[in-house]
Structure 1
Amino acid sequence: MFGGQVAEVLVNEVPEDGYLLDVREDDEWRAGHAPDAVHIPLGTLGERAAEVPKDKKVYVICRAGGRSAQATMALNQAGWDAVNVAGGMQAWDHAARDMKAEDDGEPRVI
């Protein structure tokens, strides 16, 4: 969708202590997310970008990679060092990386 314009990493290349920014909607986040991810929905990223550190690489994730690619492009254009997580939370789940839900159910990607 974005050609070679956005740097990407595979889910297994995201370091355990990396800054993971989840740009999905609230319902998607509640259903399941990486335990240490920071949640800022794409629609509010413009007004909340100051919450994202500029002194470290930002790994951006969504459900499949489209919204996070948009966020990655915008962050990089504004001076951040951001990279898109290829395949998003679907790939994260498939790779059996840790997930948690905000409700009592099993974490899942919706």
Structure 2
Amino acid sequence: MKQIMPNEVEVLLKEKKPIHMIDVREVEEVQTGKIPTAMHIPLGLIEFKMNELDKAKEYIMVCRSGARSSRACTFLESHGFKVINMTGGMMEWSGPTE
């Protein structure tokens, strides 16, 4: 599984690189702030929402610490998606939130 550090994601956002992010935390967690541009799909809904995702794109998966996003990566990879896990999750994120 590919990994990316939160500070690397922050650099990509600052450079206006076209990245696609999915935050798999629960609704109440996202209400405390999420990374701008990240799409919110709780982990429990990934299998039902994956038909809305594009297999041609690479998605950076985000959660609180990196564990749930790792599970989401494993699941989506098994269905042919290109994904990267953001190691450390929002606990390590120091960039902007919305």
Q: Above 0.5 in TM-score?
A: yes
Confirm or deny that 1:27 pairs with 2:25: no
Residue 68 of structure 1: aligned partner? 69
| One-letter amino acid of the counterpart of residue 24, structure 1 | R
Structure 1 residue 21: Cα displacement: 0.4
Query: Which amino acid in 2 is paired with 1:98?
Result: P
Counterpart Cα distance in 1 of 2:8 and 2:57: 15
Please state if 1:87 is matched with 2:76.
Answer: no
CA RMSD between the two structures: 1.0
Moved over 4 A (4+): none
* Structure with greater helix share of residues: 2
1:58 aligned counterpart, secondary structure: strand
1:83 alignment partner, SS class: strand
Q: How many residues align?
A: 92
How many percent of aligned residue pairs carry the same amino acid? 35
How big is the shift at 1:12? 2.3
The aligned residue for residue 12 of structure 1 is: 7
For 2:77 and 2:49, locate their aligned partners in 1 and report how far apart those are by CA, in whole Å: 15
